[in-house]
Amino acid sequence: MLVIPAIDLKNGQAVRLRQGDMERVSVFSSSPVAIAQKWLAAGARRLHIVDLDGAFAGEPRNQAVIEKIVAQCGQVPVQLGGGIRDLGTIEKYLEMGIAQVILGTIAVRDPAFVKQACKQFPGHIMVGIDAKDGFVAVEGWAEVSQILAVDLAKQIEDAGVEAIIYTDISKDGMMQGTNLEATGELAAAVSMPIIASGGVAKISDIQALCELTKPLFGVITGRAIYEGTLDFASAQQLADHAVKAN
């Protein structure tokens, strides 16, 4: 299981939100590129970037800093979400060097687009499923739909999606642990790789995710590694050892 550092971008800065609320923001650095270099130096094997401004605007907003981060990553893959709603945007990001783009709101609004994107850019499309009380949230988490997260995962399973990133909004940025039950349920419901997100606070949360019945592809962590309650290198080491033990 990969431990994947998150770099959330707002107005060109590296930030973290609490429960997806743009008014509850903590600025961690005015230099996201330096933050990326820090996690790469610590041994990160993948980075997770979110264009928060883009997620709320419905179109890219932080391309310049994203391009600078990608330039620092070499062979380390970068996955990116936020405001990606058309094929042209996907193509531009892939040309920039992004490994996978993450579709969110549009996966709910237009499932056919997900299939089209997967067909045109095979191996490069992930879907972010953000849920509150089991239901999918859209539009930068500002709206909760009537679609169950597990149902959406099953609907897109045959589209050719590379992986699902599952975030429990109620846990995200709150440092209160992950929603193990919901994450485990989603992982068991589909065959595609699952990346967990939201709520990781300490090393025991990594251990608990490693012990799920179906192994996860990865877990995204943000606030915990920025505030120091989780040591990134130790977390990845634990995850590596857990895989070997199993």
- First-to-last CA distance in the chain? 12
151 labelled catalytic: no
Among candidate residues 42, 30, 32, 31, the one with its CA nearest the CA of residue 6? 32
The CA-atom distances, in angstroms, between 185 and each of 18, 79, 123, 182, 231 are 24, 24, 24, 5, 27
53-80 burial, b at 16+ Cβ within 10 Å, e below that, comes to: bbbbebebbbbebbeebbeebeebebbb
Among candidate residues 201, 229, 75, 228, the one with its CA nearest the CA of residue 219? 201
Torsion on CA atoms 110, 115, 119, 121, rounded to nearest 10: 60
Given 51, 53, 130, 205, the catalytic residue: 130
Residue 119 backbone class (left: φ over 0; alpha: ψ -120 to 50; beta: rest): alpha
130 labelled catalytic: yes
Given 8, 168, 172, 205, the catalytic residue: 8
Q: How far apart are CA 2 and CA 77, in angstroms?
A: 12
Strand, helix or coil for residue 59: coil
Active site (catalytic) residues: 8, 130
